[in-house]
Structure 1
Amino acid sequence: MPTQTMRAVRLHEHGGPEVLRYEEVPVPEPGPGEVLVRVHAAGINPPDWYVRDGMTDLPPETRPRFELPVTPGTDLSGVVEAVAADVDGFRVGDEVFGLLRFPSFDGSTYAEYVAAPAADLALKPSRIDHVRAAGVPMAALTAWQFLIELGHDHPSPFQEARHRPVPLDAGTKVLINGAAGGVGHFALQLAKWKGAHVTAVASGGHEAFLRELGADAFIDYTKNRPEEIARDLDLVLDTVGGPDSRRFLRTLKRGGSHFPVFFGAFDEEENAKLGVTVTGTQVRSNGAQLAELARLLDSGTVRVAVDSTFPLAQARAAHERAARGHIRGKIVLTVA
C-alpha cells in the first residue's frame, strides 16, 4: 500500500501557469465503485487550463462549479493499487487508463495517486507504454463520440439537438481542421479506419506526419484558406472551432454536416438555407468506449503521437508549452 501522503499539483488561485503548485497532500482512499490508481502518466488537455484560469473562455451558464484548492487533470495511465469491495473487473496490479469524472473537474490526475471510478477505466493497451496511453482518453474519446458513437444521452450545454455521428464509409468525404492536434490526429485515423476520404488541415510542418497517419489530401492553412479550396464535403470536423468555424459551412454539399468541437456562433437560418447540419457534443467519461479504442491501439490501427513530456513537478512548463500552440499530438506529464 502507498504511504499516507503523496505529491500532487494543485491550484490555490486562478491565473497563468505560474499558479500551479507542486506540493504534498494526503493519498485519497477509494470509495464505493472506485479503485486507487498509482499514476504513471497524466495527459494534458484544454480543460486543464480552463480550470486553471477560472473558465474565463466559457459562458458563465456553462461553467462547472468547483472549489479551490483543486488538483487539475482528467487523463491518466497507471497501475491499480487497491480496489473497493463492490468493484468487479479490475484487480490489484492491473494496468489501466481513463478519463476521470468528465465533464466535472474533479479528475485530479496531476498526482501520484488517484481514486478513480472503475466505470471510467479500461485496461491499458499492452502495445503502448503509460506515456502514450495517458495521451489517449479525452482526445480519443472526443473523436470517438463525435464520429463513431455518442454513447450517452446527456444534452450538450451548447445546443438543444442531440448530436448524431455521420455514418462513415468509402463514399464519405471528410475534412478535419486542426488535424495534427490531440483530437485531430485521432479523428483522422478513426475516419480512415471507417474508409472515408480525409482532407487534413494543419500548418505545413505537419504534412508528412498527417500523410503517414493516412490523410488523402492536405491543406496548409498558412498558405491557403481551406474554405476556399475544399468543396462538396460530407463532413467537417473542426477541432479548433470557435467564432470562425462558420467559414467551413460552404465547403459542405447539401445534406452535409459540420461538427465544431468548440462550439461557436451559428445562424440556424443560414444552416437551413445551405441545407447543412451543425451539431456538437461534450465528451464524457466512458470506460467501455476506451476498451474499444484499446483494441484499435493494440492492433496498430490507431497510433498516439506525443508532442512532449514533462515531469509532474514541471506542470507549469507543460502548460507553457501548450500555450505556445502548434502541438503535434499530446503533451503528457510523467510521474516517477
Structure 2
Amino acid sequence: MTYSTNGGEDVIEIVERSVRAPREGEIRIHVKAAAVSPTDILLREVGAPGVEAPITPGMDAAGVVEAVGPNVTRLKVGDEVMAALNPRRPEGGAQAEFVVVLEASAVRKPSNITLVQAATLPMNGMTALLALELASIPQGETLAVSGGAGLLAHYAIAAARRQGINVIADAKPEELELVDGCGATTVVERSGDFAAAVRKHAPDGVDALLDTAVLGEKAFPAIKDGGVYLPFAGGKTSRRREESTSDPFGFARSWNEQNSSRPYVGWWRAARSRSGSLANFLRRRSLMLNG
C-alpha cells in the first residue's frame, strides 16, 4: 500500500514490488495485520518534512517470521511476532504483505492475544511504558491521563495500575464504563476544565500527566509543583512551571532514518539509551499482557 501525494483515502494505491532477502541481523515478516493509527492518517493527509514519495505507511505490524538473515539469534522462522517500523525509511512502513526489519525491532507476540491485537501494541504500548519510566512515579502516587478512551491511554492505565500507581483519567459520558474497565482508579467526566476535574480527586495535584488529548498548558494546573508533564505527539517534556512547546511533527523530524521508531513521549532519547532496543524494552516490560 502506497501513496505519492497527500490527501484522503483516494490517494492510496495497491502496488506490487519485490522484497529483498534479510541481511545480517534482519528478519523478513509475512505481515498478517498492520495497524492504521491517527498518526498514519494525519501524515497521509498533511504530510511531514523530509518524507519522500512514494510512501508505504504504517508503524505497527504483526505476522510470521518468513526468513532470517545471518546472526539472528533470538527469533526463528515460524515465530509469530510484532514489530515497530519507521515509514520514513527507504523501504517504507508496516502496511505491506512482507517487511524486512532488524531483529531488534521485533518481539514474539504475547501468547494470549491474536496477531490483529498484537498489531496495535508496539508503538502505543512502548509509548505508554516509556511514559511511566520517564515519569518515575512511586508506587501509590498518582498519574493523570487525558483522553482516557484512546488506545495509548488504555495501555498507560493498565501498565500504571500494574505498577501500583493510582490513575485519574477522563472520559465522555458514553465512555465512562469503557475507561473504568481499563482499570483507572478514578474516572472523571470530560469537561472544559480537565485540571479542575482532576484536582477534585487530587487536591495537591498529580505527580505526572500523560497528555494524550494534547490539552497543553491548560492542563498544567492538574500537576503538582515539581510534577512531570508528558506530551503526546511531539513537544517537550517538562517539569511543572517550566515552559513547554508543542510540535505535532517533531517526532517525524527526529526519527532515525534507518529502522528504529520513536515513541511519542518527551525525553524519549534518554529512556531509549537506558533501555536499549525495542526488543529488549518490550521483553522486559510488556508482561502486563501475559500476566
| Structure 1 portions without partners, runs of 5+ | 1-8, 57-62, 149-163, 274-278, 300-336
SS in structure 2 opposite 1:108? coil
Instruction: State how far apart, in whole Å, the 2-side matches of 1:200 and 1:94 are.
Output: 36
Instruction: State how far apart, in whole Å, the 2-side matches of 1:286 and 1:198 are.
Output: 26
**Relative contact order higher in (CA < 8 Å, ≥ 6 apart):** 1
Aligned ranges for residues 125-204 of structure 1 at < 5 Å? 125-148=110-133, 164-170=134-140, 172-204=141-173
Matched residues, number: 259
SS in structure 2 opposite 1:288? helix
Q: Are 1:238 and 2:211 an aligned pair? A: yes
CA positional deviation for 1:24: 2.1
Aligned ranges for residues 1-336 of structure 1 at < 5 Å? 9-55=1-47, 63=49, 65-101=50-86, 107-148=92-133, 164-170=134-140, 172-221=141-190, 223=191, 225-231=193-199, 232-241=205-214, 244-263=215-234, 271-272=241-242, 280-282=266-268, 286-299=278-291
Instruction: State how far apart, in whole Å, the 2-side matches of 1:256 and 1:297 are.
Output: 28
Q: CA RMSD in A?
A: 2.6
SS in structure 2 opposite 1:10? coil
AA paired with 1:234?
D
Q: Quick check: which one's strand share is greater?
A: 1
AA paired with 1:211?
D
CA positional deviation for 1:105: 8.0
Q: 1:265 to 1:142 in 2, by over 3 A?
A: closer
Q: 1:77 to 1:201 in 2, by over 3 A?
A: same
Q: 1:52 to 1:28 in 2, by over 3 A?
A: farther
Instruction: State how far apart, in whole Å, the 2-side matches of 1:74 and 1:29 are.
Output: 21
| Structure 2 portions without partners, runs of 5+ | 200-204, 244-264
AA paired with 2:114?
D
Instruction: State how far apart, in whole Å, the 2-side matches of 1:13 and 1:45 are.
Output: 18
Q: 1:267 to 1:129 in 2, by over 3 A?
A: closer
Q: Deviations over 1:227-282 (max 9, x none)?
A: 222222111110122xx4101111122221111113459999x8159xxxxx8245
Instruction: State how far apart, in whole Å, the 2-side matches of 1:206 and 1:104 are.
Output: 37
Asked if structure 1 preserves the Cα contact closer than 8 Å seen for 2:24 and 2:70, the reply is yes
AA paired with 1:236?
L
Asked if structure 2 preserves the Cα contact closer than 8 Å seen for 1:98 and 1:290, the reply is no
Percent identity of paired positions between Structure 1 and Structure 2: 30
SS in structure 2 opposite 1:207? helix
Instruction: State how far apart, in whole Å, the 1-side matches of 2:87 and 2:19 are.
Output: 21
CA positional deviation for 1:294: 4.3
Asked if structure 2 preserves the Cα contact closer than 8 Å seen for 1:11 and 1:19, the reply is yes
Instruction: State how far apart, in whole Å, the 2-side matches of 1:17 and 1:293 are.
Output: 36
Instruction: State how far apart, in whole Å, the 1-side matches of 2:237 and 2:230 are.
Output: 12
CA positional deviation for 1:96: 0.8
Instruction: State how far apart, in whole Å, the 1-side matches of 2:222 and 2:232 are.
Output: 17
Q: 1:265 to 1:42 in 2, by over 3 A?
A: closer
Instruction: State how far apart, in whole Å, the 2-side matches of 1:119 and 1:84 are.
Output: 13
CA positional deviation for 1:82: 0.5
CA positional deviation for 1:168: 3.3
Asked if structure 1 preserves the Cα contact closer than 8 Å seen for 2:158 and 2:182, the reply is yes
SS in structure 1 opposite 2:73? coil
CA positional deviation for 1:165: 2.5
Q: Deviations over 1:166-209 (max 9, x none)?
A: 23311x11110012112111011111111111111121222111
Asked if structure 1 preserves the Cα contact closer than 8 Å seen for 2:225 and 2:241, the reply is no
SS in structure 1 opposite 2:175? helix
Q: Deviations over 1:278-315 (max 9, x none)?
A: x824587711122234432112xxxxxxxxxxxxxxxx
